[in-house]
Structure 1
Amino acid sequence: MRFLNSLLCAASLPSLLFAFPNLPFKTSKRWIVDSTGANFTYIGVNWPGAADVMIPEGLQYSSIESIVSKIKSLKMNVVRLTFAIEMIDDIKDNGGDVTMEKAFQKALGTSQGNTVYQQVLKNNPQFNATTTRIQVFDAVAAELAKQEIYVHLDNHMSKGAWCCGTGDGNAWFGDTYFNADKWKRGLQYMADHGKKWSSLISIGLRNEFRKPDKAGSSLAYNWQTWYTQVTAAADIVNAANPDILIFLSGLDYDTTMSPIPGAGDLGGGKKFQLSNFKYANKLVMELHNYQNSATSCDSMKSGLWNNGFKALDASAVNQMPVTLTEFGFSQADSSYNGVYASCLRKIIPEWKAGWTVWVLAGSYYIRSGKSDYEEVWGLLNHQWTGWRSNSAINGLKAMVDASLK
């Protein structure tokens, strides 16, 4: 009997040792690995929460549990959850976080805001009049953990609004709404706050740096400024939460990180060298790509490689993981079968690179002044009840399966 018990204990041991979430994660050359040493590939979707309301989208149509279950049904393992620095500014400077009710009223107007707020409460009865925006993020993170899906936080904007444009005031350090000090403070706050989230594995420092229209009000738009600001922010985040990975995004809407793999000159004698970071095993590169009109997969492949994916190669001076944190296309037509979508389904799994598709949302609370905005790029339909296009989803499932291999 003792021998049988020993066998049973041994048989159950792997499930204990390798149980979700296996934190913390780290990098090893081109790979991301969990605490057991197993490779982990980001396979997921973007869930926006950085727009005007600054609450994760879709809750007026569905429960958090139901939305997460849909993500889980695709066998995805991570959600890129976006947030705005304005939420932290309110917490730090304006007397505390805003309640859900006030957030909806401010963004949508009193009458419509109340209507949407009541719909959210009906679908998510765990919330009430005292629930704040950050507590909604807590609830989303908790449900993701419950269903064994990881959280990747992403600072999408400073001012809560639809992203992104060169004239939106959020483009670059020193732009109208992009206060670099408050940005770093916001990242520090979320990195520290996220310690309570059992499935938080990483944070993206900033979404889609871009050249602002009002260049005179900003710091110089170049790699030298990027290096100074980004490395300072990464130091702060790592000090606040040394367990999480830190994602670094590039210039021109994060379509290029070209100087980084080869440690090229960034200007002013600066070079990005992984060896200079005490937390080098926490750094990941991220890129975006929206070449929807592409006619050649070979051209796309070459461009992506030269713009940063070459960091995956052993020949790179700074060999490190690269994740395609945004790509996407209309779910309302045959784009899923075009050159662009077909190419990414092929090459990203071939490179064994991670990815998070844009976007989960079938609609937004409000976008660019229009309430209940239809999002035809959304994987979900307008009411968040099912997939917008089964054909497009089948293509995405094929990409998930290829990446899981």
Structure 2
Amino acid sequence: MQFRSGIGLLALTFPSLIGAISSSPLSTSGRWIVDSDGNNVTYAGANWPGAEVAMLPEGLQYQSIEYIVGKLKDLGMNVIRLTFAIEMIDDIYENGADVPIKTSLINALGETNGTKIYEDIVANNPQFGENTTRLEVYDAVATECYNQGIYVHLDNHVSKASWCCSTTDGNAWFGDTYFNVSNWHRGWRYMAEHVKSLPAVKSIGMRNELRSPDDDTTLADTSYNWDNWYTNMVENANQVHEVNSDLLLFFSGLDYDTTLSPIPTASNLGNSTYFKKSDFSFADKIVLELHNYDSSATSCSSLSSSLLTDGFDALETDDSSIVNVLPVVMTEFGYEQDDTTYTEVYASCLREWLPSEHAGWMIWVLSGSYYIRQGIQDYDETWGLLDHTWSDWRSTEAIENGIIPMVEASLG
């Protein structure tokens, strides 16, 4: 059977994914995300990065937005996690206007390469031009996602645009070198207002992979703890909800978002601080998100057990120790997209366990390449579902036997 024939069968299997998505907001009910009719919604999708120094969704020099979104739809996926940098919003406030994409590309890649990539982007996406700004490209992605029935989960990946993440990149923790908390709040207030006109945007990830700020040992020693996490995350959630009450608010954890262990049980976070869903007026908008890259796992039982301990136990409605029953979404996990890695313990376990728990997920990563990553232009992404030119799947074997069965199990 040819691969495209398989996709045709997938479309028949998931008719709800082929039509348009509702413009109504999502909310939560216990461990579930639900739509306006009360139907359970499980996220199953991929990450689409846009937070590196060009501050644009990747891949548009190779393909159109319509084509890329269509590839997600071919898989039967229903969501993208679209990442951005607060620096983009800082620029708007500092300059009084957003930066044109051509200028941003030249700043990132140099005059010659930046101009060439700009021309390629416009050739593939002729709706753009000299005056098109970065945020307008994000808007175009969100609009196309709505047209093709794909939810958008908007994620603040970093403050200063860069590849993420390390403990010494200045983006690690509240008050770190580039992590200005006031600008972060300001940026989210701006985006919460902005996306009101984009009905595909249903949820936000308030901050990606919080971690110890090891470039500032004083800050790490005095501030890196759950109590300060609560103060900052809850304040941001309050502000976003006040501006746009439709959005689901994803709370990420510590240690690169690999743990939210004290949250399901409402344990003491320090200074008699407790996270209790019942304390929030927007309790029906709270979702937990976790990441996992434990590719060294030797058994699915040990990996799944650790995931429950890390925070997925918030899904356990029959466990009396769980105070905060909430949806949990694995917004990042990933592995090499080749013909064998998807068969190993880590990938195989998540492919089976996440759907069995009815937990949402977004694989890292859609990108076949980057405009620039860590200083290397046209960087090849071997973890990308798409090949270098974003034309087709990097490994048809991994897609047919790894990704598609996971989508089917999650959304069937």
Confirm or deny: 8 A CA contact 1:22 1:36 kept in the other structure: no
CA distance in 2, matches of 1:258, 1:303: 10
Measure the CA separation in 1 of the matches of 2:21 and 2:98. Answer: 31
Q: What is the DSSP-based 3-state SS (H/G/I as helix, E as strand, rest coil) of the residue aligned with 2:179? A: coil
Cα distance, 1:20 vs. partner? 2.5
Q: Deviations over 1:196-217 (max 9, x none)?
A: 1011110010000000112325
Partners of 2:254 and 2:224 in 1: CA distance = 9
Q: 2:218 aligns with which of 207, 216, 239?
A: 216
Quote the residue 2:192 is aligned against. Answer: 191
Aligned letter for 1:30?
Answer: R
Which ranges in structure 1 are unaligned for 5 or more consecutive residues? Answer: 1-14
Corresponding residue number in structure 1 for 2:299: 296
Query: SS in structure 2 opposite 1:252?
Result: coil
Partner of 1:325: 331
Give secondary structure in 2 for the equivalent of 1:230.
helix
Tell me, yes or no, if the aligned pair for 2:386 and 2:392 is still in contact at 8 Å: yes
* AA partner of residue 127 (structure 2): Q
Q: CA deviation at 1:236?
A: 0.4
In structure 2, the partner of 1:182 is 183
| CA offsets 1:337-385 (integer angstroms, 9 cap, x no match) | 1000000011100000100000000000000000000000000000000
1:69 has 2:75 as partner: no
Task: Choose which of 262, 268, 284 in structure 2 pairs with 1:265.
Answer: 268
Whether 1:338 aligns to 2:362 is no
8 Å CA contact retained: 1:380, 1:386:
yes
Q: Is the 8 A contact 1:61 1:123 kept in 2?
A: yes
Of 353, 357, 379, 1:347 maps to 353
Which letter does structure 1 place at the counterpart of 2:218? Answer: G
Cα separation, 1, equivalents of 2:271 and 2:60: 48
Q: Which residue of 2 aligns with 1:359?
A: 365
Given the alignment of the two structures, is residue 245 of structure 1 paired with residue 248 of structure 2, yes or no?
yes
**Contact persistence 2:20–2:146 (CA under 8 A):** no
Assess if the C-alpha contact under 8 Å between 2:46 and 2:79 holds in 1: yes
Aligned to 1:8: none
**Which residue number in structure 2 is paired with residue 280 of structure 1?**
283
Residue number among 297, 305, 309 corresponding to 1:306 in the alignment: 309
Match for 2:167: what amino acid? T
Q: Does the 8 Å contact 1:328/1:357 carry over to 2?
A: yes
Checking the alignment, whether the CA contact within 8 Å between 1:176 and 1:217 is kept in structure 2 is no
CA distance in 2, matches of 1:100, 1:129: 8
RMSD: 1.2
User: What does 1:5-404 align with in structure 2 at a 5 Å threshold?
Assistant: 20-21=21-22, 23-213=24-214, 214-217=216-219, 220-314=223-317, 315=319, 316-332=322-338, 334-394=340-400, 395-404=402-411
User: Any idea what SS the aligned residue of 1:156 has?
Assistant: strand
CA distance in 2: counterparts of 1:379 and 1:83, whole angstroms: 20
Structure 2: give runs of 5+ residues left out of the alignment. Answer: 1-15
1:173-202 Cα deviation digits (max 9, x unpaired): 111100011001111111110111011110
Q: Which amino acid aligns with 1:397?
A: I
Q: Which amino acid aligns with 1:288?
A: H
Total equivalences in the alignment = 389
CA contact (8 A) 1:331 1:378 kept: yes
Amino acid at match of 1:375: E
One-letter amino acid of the counterpart of residue 280, structure 1? A
After TM superposition, the score normalised by the length of structure 2 is 0.93
The one-letter code matched in structure 2 to 1:322 is V
In the alignment, residue 240 of structure 1 is paired with which amino acid?
Answer: V
TM-score (normalised: structure 1): 0.94
CA contact (8 A) 1:22 1:34 kept: no
In 2: Cα distance, 1:217 partner to 1:284 partner: 28
Task: Confirm or deny: 8 A CA contact 1:157 1:207 kept in the other structure.
Answer: yes
The separation in 1 between residues aligned to 2:376 and 2:102, in whole angstroms, is: 19
Quick one: distance in 2 between partners of 1:83 and 1:192?
16
CA distance in structure 2 between the partners assigned to 1:114 and 1:217 by the alignment: 41
The residue aligned with 1:3 is none
Q: Could you say which residue in structure 2 is the equivalent of 1:7?
A: none
Letter in structure 1 aligned against 2:369:
S
Q: Output the CA distance in 2 between the equivalents of 1:203 and 1:141.
A: 13
Q: Using the TM superposition, give the Cα deviation of residue 22 of structure 1 relative to its aligned residue in structure 2, in angstroms.
A: 5.1
Amino acid at match of 2:370: Y
Instruction: Indicate conservation of the 8 Å contact 2:338/2:397, yes or no.
Output: no
Amino acid in the other structure paired with 1:90: D
Offset at residue 19 of structure 1 (A): 6.3
For each residue in 1:146-194, what CA deviation from the matched residue of structure 2 results, as whole angstroms up to 9, or x when unmatched?
1010111000000111111111100001111000110011111111101
State the 1:334 CA deviation: 1.6
Instruction: Give the Cα separation in 2 of the matches to 1:22 and 1:86.
Output: 29
Moved over 2 A (4+): 215-219
Asked whether the equivalents of residues 22 and 35 of structure 1 are also in contact (C-alpha less than 8 Å), the reply is no
